[in-house]
Structure 1
Amino acid sequence: MTLDPSVVTAFTPTGKLRASINLGNPVLAKRDPVSGEPCGVSVDLARAFAERLSVDLELVAFDTAGKSVEAVSDERADIGFFAVDPLRAQAISFTAPYVLIEGFYLVRDDSPITRNQDVDQPHNRVAVGKGSAYDLFLTREIKTAQIVRAPTSPAVVQTFIEQNLEVAAGVKQQLESDASRFSGLRLLDERFMVIQQAMGTPKSRGLAAATALQRFVEAMKTSGFVSAALERHGIAGASVAPAA
């Protein structure tokens, strides 16, 4: 993958590649328990892309998807790793997805809610992570239930418990992990959305940069890099997105 010098310059206006990392989605990134440094699939991809550009990498970590998106939209970062969403696409050029993650609902064992269709009712309150992909999606899709925004995605189940809400929504793996700390909780049997995780860069960087990033993502999928990264980091339940 040979890149024109002008494309490298477009990605590195500060002389290095600044990658926005969302630590609020542990499926793709988290802090290493020993070093405290960000690690995960998205970090591996950021390092690989910096190597393709032959530039130094700076990781800019955030605790929520919303803050991570803002960093790229405001050009405080050059690339980022987000779920594809029409609202975000106003300022960001997205690649095709590299990983697919499922969004699920969590309820109490004694809840009368048994199907996804039961959630959107006036008496239900749904906890979501503020600014997350499923927050944006449900804000558009939910018509009568009330959305309650937790400060971060990892705080969704805690908010659900503390405020005695009817439903928690989020990434399946995150909900399963959090629910294991409490008794009397269950996931509904079907996903309410497929979260398409992609790479993105500010639209102002131009078409050539967006095309280069798209080609990089496709190469990482077809080469087995993404699959190997998921396995290396012990990520279960997420799948490599099909070729674009």
Structure 2
Amino acid sequence: MTLSASLRNALAPTGTLRASLNLGNPVLVNRTDSGEPGGVSVDLARELASRLGVPVAFTEFDRAAESVETVTNEGADIGFFAIDPLRGAGIAFSAAYVLIEGCYLVRNESPLTRHEDVDREGNRILVGKGSAYDLFLTREIRHAQIVRTALSQTVVDDFLRDDLEVAAGVRQQLEADAARTPGLRLLDGRFMVIEQAMGLSKRRGDEAANYLREFVEDAKRSGFVADALARHGIQGASVAPAAQV
């Protein structure tokens, strides 16, 4: 797509590409030794800004819901989100660029062994409020109780503190927490695949949304996303397939 002045203005109206980051997703965003943000999402934002010929600035949030709200209301130009129909009311998504697994964690002595066992009366599932898996489980869970905590990063600590039955989250975060905390295990498999995409406010118009979609497809096709995953040592996440046109 030709980058016209009107298109550049729709994507970066201030002359700087303002990218919103969710620090609650360690698969895609982390802090470098210098304290600056790094990761796959940061690499994509820098590459997009380079193609637009503008500088990039980052706004960081601890919760996905805050990042979604900021982009929806145009406090930032782009963001990195799990695709979800509720968020889609105000966000125009690209296709997914990375697939991430959502998993359950329990104590070793828990009788739960299968994902099918979780949705039963008496089980309490702790999730990060407003996260992709919170939105998904809110739609899907019929019998268990969903308990929400403010930050995805503290799900396991809060799960242990409050003596709950199940913690839900991104596989990599749960695996890291289980490694530092004896007596915990992940249930085999996954309860959802999180489709991680880029997005912007629908107020920016179809031309800007289409440019972002084409950018993501090119980043997958060219190997940019795969190289970024490898460069940052990300395990357990995969490059999403090409979008069906």
Shorter chain as denominator, the TM-score bin is over 0.9
Partner of 1:71: 70
**CA-CA distance at 1:107 after TM superposition:** 0.6
Q: Flag as ranges the 4+ runs of structure 1 deviating above 4 A.
A: none
For structure 2, which runs of at least 5 residues remain unmatched after alignment? none
Partner of 2:80: 81
Amino acid at match of 2:159: F
* More moved, 146-155 vs 47-56: 146-155
Deviations 1:86-142 (A, max 9, x none): 000000000000000000001111111111111111200001011100000001111
CA distance in 2, matches of 1:101, 1:5: 35
1:170 matches 2:169:
yes
CA distance in 2, matches of 1:86, 1:40: 26
Report the secondary structure of 1:208's partner residue: helix
**CA-CA distance at 1:65 after TM superposition:** 0.8
Matches within 5 A, 1:38-187: 38-187=37-186
CA distance in 1, matches of 2:232, 2:2: 29
**CA-CA distance at 1:2 after TM superposition:** 3.4
**CA-CA distance at 1:37 after TM superposition:** 0.7
For structure 1, which runs of at least 5 residues remain unmatched after alignment? none
* More moved, 13-22 vs 193-202: 13-22
CA distance in 1, matches of 2:124, 2:11: 42
CA distance in 1, matches of 2:232, 2:174: 18
**Cα RMSD, aligned residues only:** 0.8
**CA-CA distance at 1:183 after TM superposition:** 1.0
Amino acid at match of 2:67: S
CA distance in 1, matches of 2:80, 2:234: 16
Amino acid at match of 1:90: A
CA distance in 1, matches of 2:28, 2:97: 11
Partner of 1:210: 209
CA distance in 2, matches of 1:73, 1:122: 36
Normalization by structure 2: what TM-score? 0.98
**CA-CA distance at 1:3 after TM superposition:** 1.1
CA distance in 1, matches of 2:179, 2:162: 19
